[in-house]
Amino acid sequence: MNFPTDLKYSKDHEWVKITGSEALVGITEFAQSELGDIVFVDINTVGQSVKQFALFGSVEAVKTVSDLFLPISGKILEVNTELNAKPELVNNAPYEGGWIVKIAVENTADLEKLMSAAEYQKLVGE
């Protein structure tokens, strides 16, 4: 299983990658493997500011729906539109093409409440 060291991780299995004042957010390889085949991504918070660990959308797999929680506070700038036609990108490339939202970072201090790759790997027992 892959745990990129340039990301920060939440206990809810989301990852965040900061690039300047913006960040990409997605679910971890572990999370997608637990959910199974992703068939739909539902994000209705574009344009909204969402607090750290608050609900920002959901992913639907063949047998379940899972809520998504924002790992750091931010304004949802855009949804990865490729997921409309190819939601399986979340399964096939969770850290690259399968990112879910881009946000404007509102509070970088939120990163202190997240885990490193090593800490997250220990959490999931890999």
CATH of the domain at 15: 2.40.50.100
Domain interval for residue 24: 8-111
* Maximum alpha-carbon separation in the chain: 37
Residue 126 predicted with pLDDT over 80: no
Q: Is residue 125 a part of any domain in this protein?
A: no
Token digits of residue 12: 């809810």
CA distance 105 to 24: 10
| DSSP character at residue 14 | E
Q: Is residue 116 a part of any domain in this protein?
A: no
Q: Mean pLDDT across the stretch 11-33?
A: 97
* Total number of domains constituting the chain: 1
Q: Is residue 120 a part of any domain in this protein?
A: no
Q: Is residue 50 a part of any domain in this protein?
A: yes
Q: Is residue 46 a part of any domain in this protein?
A: yes
Q: Is residue 119 a part of any domain in this protein?
A: no
CA distance 109 to 36: 33
Under the banding of pLDDT at 50, 70 and 90, the label for residue 26 is very high
Q: Is residue 22 a part of any domain in this protein?
A: yes
Give the model confidence (pLDDT) of 94-112 as tens digits. 999 999 999 999 999 999 9
Helix/strand/coil percent split, the chain, to 5 = 25, 35, 40
Q: Is residue 45 a part of any domain in this protein?
A: yes
Give the model confidence (pLDDT) of 37-96 as tens digits. 999 999 999 999 999 999 999 999 998 999 999 999 999 999 999 999 999 999 999 999
